[in-house]
Amino acid sequence: MYLSTWKHIEGYICLCFLSLVLLKFLVFKINDLAGLSGKDKFTEGRLIDMMNNVKEIQEKFNNQITKTFELNDDNLSQNWDDYHLVEKVFELTKIKK
């Protein structure tokens, strides 16, 4: 990426810092609420792999979702398990408010 002015450079650094803080906080909350520790601990790498590999296809008719297909195979089963864990953590945080 080409950054031409000092303001662009500062903005890019700020954006990178904020995304890193958000990533670390999300991993902390997942581990805290799911009670994960040791080798089962959720890591930044697992979260990034999950976000890159988990894909769904939604079939719509008249702007209504009729079917949802999860693109899944044996190589992605761990990513889908991680996705469902993160979903449960989000549901827990929603309930606690």
**What is the model's pLDDT at position 13?**
94
Residue 97 pLDDT level (bands cut at 50, 70, 90): very low
Structure letter (DSSP) for residue 63: T
Each residue of 65-81: pLDDT tens digit?
Answer: 888 888 888 888 889 99
Q: Is 47 helix (H, G, I), strand (E, B) or coil?
A: helix
Radius of gyration of the chain (CA): 18
Residue 48 pLDDT level (bands cut at 50, 70, 90): very high
Domain definitions of the chain by residue range: 6-96
Q: Is the dihedral of CA 92, 83, 48, 8 positive or negative?
A: negative
